[in-house]
Structure 1
Amino acid sequence: MGVQLEGVGLTHPGGVTALQGLDLRIAAGERVAIVGSSGAGKTTLLRLLATGLTPTSGQLTLLGEVPARLRSGALKKLRSRIGLIYQSPPLPPRQRVVTAVQAGRLGQWSLPRALLSLCYPLDIRGVEQVLAPLDLTDKLFSRCDQLSGGQLQRVGIARVMYQRAGLLLADEPVAAMDPVLANHTLALLNRLAAEREVTLVASLHAVDLALKHFPRIIGLRAGRVHFDCPAGEVTAELLDSLYANDGLGSAQPASTGNHAGTEASASAPRTAQRCL
């Protein structure tokens, strides 16, 4: 089993509701992109799937487990099977790339081996193998503070690839990359996920990239599922209603492939629209 949400909601301690009544099922090995405007709940949903947040209502099932029912040891084991690619990877500035990538398996190694890996690279060849498709082998022993933003994002991706997680989550994984590199990186992520039969869920602001690289698109609006469609069935009308903003008449993001430039109206439909 991949991911299942049944009536999941999340309200922050301050009383702000971030997610409401989400009913989703993502099969093992499926590749899904989540799109929506800023504040729609994309990052919150990914943090929930990474077990960094706990639902305040409903039930979340990940890789056949219900995180809310697990004790600390079992929860730690589950987390070692979940990889999260951050928009801004939390990499120590003075850490070497080889060490940062090896950290992907800290949760799977014994304590002595994990501690040793922080001081001495134990698997240089294995790290090189995941850096090669990302064009980073020449940065193997570079410090993280010597890298560009795009290179840091790729190191974060390499770390999750090295982890060999069963559930791969990516929060705006190519935001700091130029268009050519972003296309290359998303194609690589999808190819590796397909080859390893890994479930991949990514949030993206660039709708054209989501439509190009992901078979299934979920649109979030105000913490709710607005639509859930195969990429080929996502229409300009669906995107207009997803990005419509009362009082502003704002358009959907300009970088949306064949849908670019379609204006959103304040009267756009606001109820969830499901294609599946």
Structure 2
Amino acid sequence: MSLSLRGVGLTHANGQVALSTIDLRVTSGERLAIIGPSGAGKTSLLRVLASNLQPSSGEIELLEQQPWRLPAGQRQKLRARIGLIHQSPPLPPRQRVVTAVLAGKLGQWSLGKSLLNLLHPLDLAGAQAALARLDLADKLFERCDQLSGGQLQRVGIARVLYQAPELILADEPVSAMDPILAGHTLSVLNDEASRRGSTLLASLHATDLALAHFPRIIGVREGRILFDLPPAEITPAQLDALYANEQLQTLPASPATAPVCLQIPRC
């Protein structure tokens, strides 16, 4: 079992309920997309799974450990086994791309090796190979502040590819990319997870990308899971309920269904 949530709830300090009685089980090597409207709780769920936020209630198990019952040092070691991809990667503007990618191993390296890497990159070939998979090999020595938003997102993904974690959590990882590049990037991420047997959970606002690239889809609204299904079993009515009051979004045609719209008015 890669992760398990039982009755997990999260209430912020201001009283806002972000998650409510979440039950979720994911086996090792599964690949899931989390979809839902803005403010549904997708990012909060990923932050709980990354052990960056402690749930207000319920139990969580990650990689066969209960993070909030571990001493701080052991919890940090657990986090080194998790790769977290941010929508806006927190990369220092003046940092070189090669250093940003190699930072994926900092949680696994000794302090001395980590400090040495900051002065002299220790694995140029490894960093370049990760970047090449995302068509960024030519950016190896660029500064992060010289890159576009989509390029920065791909650098963040390359860092996780280099890290080779057991669990990959991606929060809107392709939001700054055009549809073709986003599709290619998700294919690379899925291929990496499949090749290594890593578990992958990605939150996506683009429903068409989720349905096209992931074999299991979780629909989240108002901090609750509305459905947990394979793409072929998700109905237009379920998507309407999930995205009620959201801006009209169009789904791609599938072999079994004609094109549908998520919201009223219907196509």
SS of the counterpart of 1:209? helix
SS of the counterpart of 1:201? strand
CA–CA separation in structure 2 for the residues paired with 1:8 and 1:103: 31
Cα drift, residue 21 of structure 1? 0.2
Q: Which amino acid aligns with 1:224?
A: R
**Residues 36 and 205, structure 1, Cα contact 8 Å, conserved in 2:** yes
Partner of 2:252: 257
CA–CA separation in structure 2 for the residues paired with 1:218 and 1:263: 18
Partner of 2:52: 52
With normalisation by structure 2, the TM-score equals 0.95
* Aligned counterparts, 1:98-177, within 5 A: 98-177=98-177
SS of the counterpart of 1:98? helix
Cα drift, residue 262 of structure 1? 4.1
Cα drift, residue 83 of structure 1? 0.5
Aligned pair count reads 260
Cα drift, residue 253 of structure 1? 2.6
Cα drift, residue 118 of structure 1? 1.1
RMSD (Å) for aligned C-alpha atoms: 1.2
Cα drift, residue 3 of structure 1? 1.0
Q: Which amino acid aligns with 2:189?
A: L
With normalisation by structure 1, the TM-score equals 0.92
Q: Which amino acid aligns with 2:9?
A: G
The alignment-based identity, stated in percent, is 62
Deviations 1:170-195 (Å, cap 9, x if unpaired)?
Answer: 00000000111001000111111011
CA–CA separation in structure 1 for the residues paired with 2:112 and 2:262: 57
In structure 1, list runs of 5 or more residues that go unmatched.
266-276
Partner of 2:37: 37
SS of the counterpart of 1:134? coil
Partner of 1:179: 179
Aligned structure 1 segments of 4 or more residues deviating by more than 4 angstroms: none
**Residues 249 and 263, structure 2, Cα contact 8 Å, conserved in 1:** no
CA–CA separation in structure 2 for the residues paired with 1:235 and 1:25: 22
CA–CA separation in structure 2 for the residues paired with 1:35 and 1:20: 16
SS of the counterpart of 1:257? coil
Change (3 A) 1:109 1:262: closer
Cα drift, residue 251 of structure 1? 5.3
Q: Which amino acid aligns with 2:14?
A: G
SS of the counterpart of 1:182? helix
**Residues 205 and 253, structure 1, Cα contact 8 Å, conserved in 2:** no
CA–CA separation in structure 2 for the residues paired with 1:146 and 1:56: 40
CA–CA separation in structure 2 for the residues paired with 1:57 and 1:188: 36
Partner of 1:271: none
Q: Which amino acid aligns with 1:257?
A: P
CA–CA separation in structure 1 for the residues paired with 2:114 and 2:95: 15
CA–CA separation in structure 1 for the residues paired with 2:4 and 2:33: 16
CA–CA separation in structure 2 for the residues paired with 1:179 and 1:97: 24
CA–CA separation in structure 2 for the residues paired with 1:80 and 1:204: 24
CA–CA separation in structure 1 for the residues paired with 2:190 and 2:171: 14
SS of the counterpart of 1:40? coil
**Residues 249 and 262, structure 2, Cα contact 8 Å, conserved in 1:** no
**Residues 236 and 261, structure 2, Cα contact 8 Å, conserved in 1:** no
In structure 2, list runs of 5 or more residues that go unmatched.
254-258
Cα drift, residue 252 of structure 1? 4.9
